[in-house]
Amino acid sequence: MRGLLKAIAVLSLLLACLIGGGYLRLEQWAHAPIDVPAEAVVELHAGTTLTALSAELSLRGAVSSAAFFNAWVRIAGNYQRYQAGRYRFVGAVAPADVALAMLKGDVWNPIVLQVAVPEGYRTKDLAERLAANGVGHIVEITRLMHDHAFLQSLNVPSTSLEGYIFPATYAFHEMPTATEALTQMVKTFWQSLPKNYENSVAGMGLSLGQAVTFASLIELETRLDDEKPLISEVIWRRLKDKAPLAIDAALIYGIPDYQGVIRSVHLVDAKNPYNTRIHVGLPPTPIGSPSVKSLEAVLHPTNFGYYYYVLVPDGSRHHFSKTLQEHNLNVKKLVNASKHTKKSGGN
């Protein structure tokens, strides 16, 4: 009897060692990444059995063994907590990573549309871009951008969405309607507005609408962040003196059929409300989408005494001047450089 009991004990110990060794091997397998060369997309539906899921993962290349995955998850005993959805695995992935993703519900939502709104972008250009990507018809989008009820629903204090579309890249996981796309873009504007911005600009004598218009002028005049406070200073000084801003980006905005050249007739056109060579003060609306840096520059102009600016000959940045005499010299340099470029056949 003692011999039989001893034999049973030895067999039990051996079985335990075998089971323990098998579990250790399974654990090592579960945490060893494999390379998924192409993306493995697996759909887990409610009610799918573990055996069926294991086979699908193996078929798609997300795990190297259906049997091992099945056994490992059964030992863990948490399959009932896996969340239904579509999952994507690529690169170095361990079976434990696959299991964790499904436990956490890290489902994969593929991007069906990505729309970039550059800094300074106009709503006219955005309407064309959205329509080209299948987000409604350009007529519908343009109408919506000027729809009073829609603007009110988004708290936009203007006659259009111009200036209130925040420059960013927007990703959509489902094809949006024009209303959905524009709503997200305007909501991003409000979320990105500097803290207490409306109160801050009010303290400087501007409404929010005027501040956004101001910022859009800065944005269209320079893309260099270090120049924005300098442009802001010039605009502030001219506003205080009730002098024309003479910003051609605004003038161009008000020319419906602009062909790339500012003509004499454009310079004297008083019917163009955006003609800042004639009309003093800010234009009636923004002329593009300002960045946060441009919005902040409205609040933080420099104080060097600058009243004029003009491009340097290579077009990389601007010369800033305090006097008209100095400004005229800088303009002359730009004109001479332009003439030299034309003579040499440059662009």
DSSP string, 266-323: HHT-TT-TT-TTTSBS--SS--S---HHHHHHHHS---S---EEEE-TTSSSEEEESS
Burial class (CB in 10 A: 0-12, 13-18, 19+), 125: middle
Q: What are the start-end ranges of the E strands in the chain?
A: 34-44, 85-93, 113-116, 169-172, 308-311, 318-321
Q: What SS3 state is found at 157?
A: coil
**What averages of pLDDT result for each successive group of 10 residues across the chain (347 residues)?**
45 42 87 91 96 96 96 92 96 96 95 96 97 96 98 97 98 96 98 97 98 98 97 98 96 94 94 97 98 98 97 94 96 84 51
Ranges in the chain annotated CATH 3.30.1490.480: 29-104
Instruction: Give the pLDDT of residue 341.
Output: 58
Instruction: Give the pLDDT of residue 340.
Output: 64
Longest dimension (CA), the chain: 118
Contacts of residue 9, defined as CB under 8 A and 6 or more positions apart, other chains included, come to none
| Strand pairing report for 169-172 and 113-116 | antiparallel
The tokens for 312 are: 């340097």
Single-letter residue type at 202: A
**DSSP-derived secondary structure letter, 204:** T
Contact 273, 281 (CB under 8 A): no
pTM beyond 0.85: the answer is no
Task: Answer yes or no: CATH 3.30.1490.480 is held by domain 29-104.
Answer: yes
Instruction: Give the pLDDT of residue 51.
Output: 96
